[in-house]
């Protein structure tokens, strides 16, 4: 959500940000509506003031035994006029909220401008892709050949874009999740958190998922939404709160199932686990100040990178273009892991800074010592990481010619020292 005062003072910058996102200029529309809204509000306040004045006059006239019929008639008319004015103000407020709720966050000036991933900018490449003296298989070939990954059985139960992992692969995914949680809590200071998987509309609105992206969410018949990521619940833990600056940053992490309808992705990644309706993810969320949020993004990204470094998987960091960023983000870094089965880098994590965009929707603030007022917090979120996509990267990078999978050393303590996954396990 945008600050109306900022739009009044920076209409050109507001429109420039929207145009980078592929939206038409909206400053003139917003400011015209704001002008009418403020005029209506002023008129309503004037009516309230006049009604109070007349009410006092009525009391004084009655005490003197004077005729109050005219004053009573004026109060009655003012009551009707006030009710009409209140409806007008509410309608204008609702219209303003509707317009601003549908507009994406303004990207930073350094963000490459483009419609999609083709305009993304390479920041750095880390590690060397593994070389094989045989044709490396994709993860679904490996998993099905081992008898440990079953898409057919999942489809009978739930339809397309679901999978059943069995025995050693199920354990390996759990090991990956535990490794990530231990790393982020033990070394990077994130607080492990267990959150609901179902949220009400206001929570989804707070993170920017509603109203514009309702088709991407699963909704229950009693008006709950299944979370698409724990960002939604972790970020909302500070909604309608006033925090002390001394308590910031707050760093949270959670392992949750995530649910996405994948609307608009028909025909993309239809085979395998890359794009599922249900998957597990370790999420990272930071709540911080305006002065530190950019540095916090670099820190969060480095925390996610450390997962891949310790798994010894080559990856690259991409700065997303204005058209490829999420709705609420001002800057996003994607980590793309090398998948030898696809002979390509594929996204495995996204880390974003949202500024005060989500905080305004949640009314989340902090108090600076020595200042009278409050400021909106800045929020960040990142994947630390999706366990299914990390499983894919491990399988493809550690595969052997006969189809077995070597377990990365850093994961072996979570699997009782097991070193390899074979079909007989």
Q: From residue 74, how far is each of 40, 67, 69, 84 by CA, in Å? A: 20, 13, 9, 15
CA 312 to chain centre: 28
367: phi > 0 → left, psi -120 to 50 → alpha, else beta; which? Answer: beta
Question: 286 and 196, same structural domain?
Answer: yes
Q: What gap in Å lies between CA 251 and CA 239, rounded to an integer? A: 15
Is 187 a member of any domain? yes
| Dihedral sign for Cα atoms in the order 64, 70, 74, 79 | positive
Q: What are phi and psi of 197, to 5 degrees?
A: -100, -10
Q: Which residues contact 295 (CB under 8 A, 6 or more apart)?
A: none
- What does the DSSP assignment read for 221-252? TTS-EE-SSTHHHHHGGGTT-EEEGGGPPEEE
Share of the chain above pLDDT 70, in %: 98
Question: 407 and 304, same structural domain?
Answer: yes
For 24-33, how does the pLDDT look when each residue is reduced to its tens digit (9 = 90+)? 999 999 999 9
Catalytic residue among 86, 130, 347, 404: 347
Is 399 a member of any domain? yes
Is 176 a member of any domain? yes
pLDDT at 74: 84
Confidence of residue 290 (pLDDT cuts 50, 70, 90): very high
Q: Which of 74, 101, 128 is the last residue of a domain?
A: 101
pLDDT at residue 425 greater than cutoff 60: no
Q: How do beta strands 278-288 and 344-353 pair?
A: unpaired
Contact by Cβ (8 Å): 250, 287? yes
Q: From residue 249, how far is each of 180, 238, 243, 245, 378 by CA, in Å? A: 20, 12, 10, 8, 10
Is 110 a member of any domain? no
pLDDT at residue 264 greater than cutoff 70: no
Contact by Cβ (8 Å): 323, 21? yes
Running DSSP on this structure, what letter comes out for residue 216?
G
Is 107 a member of any domain? no
Catalytic residue among 293, 321, 349, 350: 350
Confidence of residue 208 (pLDDT cuts 50, 70, 90): very high
Catalytic residue among 260, 299, 330, 361: 260
Question: 326 and 231, same structural domain?
Answer: yes
Question: 319 and 220, same structural domain?
Answer: yes
Catalytic residue among 37, 161, 330, 389: 389
Average pLDDT for 119-147: 96
Q: Which of 76, 101, 126 is the last residue of a domain?
A: 101
pLDDT at residue 270 greater than cutoff 90: no
| 167 in active site | no
Is 52 a member of any domain? yes
pLDDT at residue 23 greater than cutoff 60: yes
Average predicted confidence (pLDDT) for the chain: 94
| 171 in active site | no
Q: Which domain, by its residues, includes 300? A: 117-421
- What does the DSSP assignment read for 361-388? HHT-EEE-TT-SSEEE-EEEEEEEEEHH
Structure token digits, residue 214: 């309702």
Average pLDDT for 152-164: 95
Catalytic residue among 50, 51, 239, 275: 275
Q: Is 12 helix (H, G, I), strand (E, B) or coil?
A: helix
Is 142 a member of any domain? yes
Contact by Cβ (8 Å): 383, 283? yes
| Dihedral sign for Cα atoms in the order 337, 390, 178, 383 | positive
pLDDT at residue 68 greater than cutoff 90: no
Question: 308 and 222, same structural domain?
Answer: yes
Structure token digits, residue 126: 């880390």
For 11-20, how does the pLDDT look when each residue is reduced to its tens digit (9 = 90+)? 999 999 999 9
Running DSSP on this structure, what letter comes out for residue 274?
S
- In CATH, what number is assigned to the domain containing residue 298? 3.30.930.10
Query: Residue holding tokens 């002008």?
Result: 35
For 235-248, how does the pLDDT look when each residue is reduced to its tens digit (9 = 90+)? 999 999 999 999 99
Is 59 a member of any domain? yes
Question: 173 and 289, same structural domain?
Answer: yes
Q: What gap in Å lies between CA 236 and CA 320, rounded to an integer? A: 25
Contact by Cβ (8 Å): 259, 228? yes
Q: How do beta strands 198-199 and 225-226 pair?
A: antiparallel
If one counts the domains in the chain, the total is: 2
Question: 80 and 142, same structural domain?
Answer: no
Question: 295 and 235, same structural domain?
Answer: yes
| 389 in active site | yes
Q: Which of 101, 125, 150 is the last residue of a domain?
A: 101
| 350 in active site | yes
Question: 164 and 88, same structural domain?
Answer: no
Question: 410 and 265, same structural domain?
Answer: yes
Average pLDDT for 249-266: 89
| 260 in active site | yes
Q: How do beta strands 121-126 and 315-319 pair?
A: antiparallel
Question: 137 and 86, same structural domain?
Answer: no
Q: Which residues contact 319 (CB under 8 A, 6 or more apart)?
A: 110, 111, 112, 120, 121, 122, 123, 331, 332, 333
- In CATH, what number is assigned to the domain containing residue 49? 1.10.287.40
pLDDT at 67: 82
Q: Which residues contact 72 (CB under 8 A, 6 or more apart)?
A: 58
Question: 95 and 9, same structural domain?
Answer: yes
- Please choose, from the candidates 343, 346, 336, the residue with its C-alpha nearest in 3D space to the C-alpha of residue 305: 336
């Amino acid at each position: 959500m945008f600050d109306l005062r900022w739009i009044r003072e920076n209409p050109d910058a507001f429109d420039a940000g929207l145009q980078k996102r592929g939206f038409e200029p909206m400053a003139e529309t917003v400011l015209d509506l704001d002008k009418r809204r403020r005029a209506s509000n002023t008129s309503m306040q004037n009516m309230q003031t006049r009604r109070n004045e007349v009410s006092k006059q009525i009391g004084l006239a009655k005490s003197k035994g004077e005729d109050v019929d005219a004053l009573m008639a004026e109060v009655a008319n003012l009551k009707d006029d006030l009710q009409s004015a209140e409806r007008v103000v509410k309608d204008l407020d609702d219209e303003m909220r509707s317009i601003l709720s549908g507009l994406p966050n303004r990207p930073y000036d350094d963000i490459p401008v483009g419609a999609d991933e083709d305009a993304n900018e390479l920041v750095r490449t880390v590690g060397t892709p593994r070389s094989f003296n045989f044709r490396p298989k994709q993860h679904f070939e490996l998993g099905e050949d081992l008898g440990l990954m079953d898409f057919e059985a999942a489809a009978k139960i739930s339809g397309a874009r679901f999978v059943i992992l069995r025995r050693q692969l199920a354990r390996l995914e759990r090991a990956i999740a535990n490794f990530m949680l231990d790393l982020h809590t033990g070394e990077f200071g994130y607080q492990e958190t267990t959150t609901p998987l179902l949220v009400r509309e206001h929570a989804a609105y707070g993170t920017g998922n509603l109203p514009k992206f309702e088709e991407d969410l699963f909704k229950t018949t009693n008006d709950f939404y299944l979370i698409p990521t724990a960002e939604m619940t972790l970020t909302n833990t500070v909604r309608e709160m006033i925090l002390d600056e001394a308590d910031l940053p707050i760093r949270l992490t959670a392992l949750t199932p995530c649910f996405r309808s994948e609307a608009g992705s028909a025909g993309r990644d239809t085979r395998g686990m890359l794009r599922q309706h249900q998957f597990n993810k370790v999420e990272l969320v930071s709540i911080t100040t305006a002065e530190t949020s950019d540095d916090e993004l670099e820190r969060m990204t480095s925390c996610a990178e450390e997962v891949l470094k310790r798994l010894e998987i080559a990856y690259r960091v991409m700065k997303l273009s204005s058209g490829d960023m999420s709705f609420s983000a001002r800057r996003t870094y994607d980590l793309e892991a090398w998948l030898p089965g696809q002979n390509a880098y594929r996204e495995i994590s996204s880390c974003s800074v949202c500024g005060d965009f989500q905080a305004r929707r949640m009314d989340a603030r902090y108090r600076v010592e020595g200042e009278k007022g409050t400021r909106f917090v800045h929020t960040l979120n990142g994947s630390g990481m999706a366990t299914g996509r990390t499983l894919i990267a491990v399988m493809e990078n550690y595969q052997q010619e006969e189809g077995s999978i070597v377990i990365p050393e850093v994961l072996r303590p979570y699997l009782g020292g097991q070193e390899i996954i074979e079909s007989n396990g």
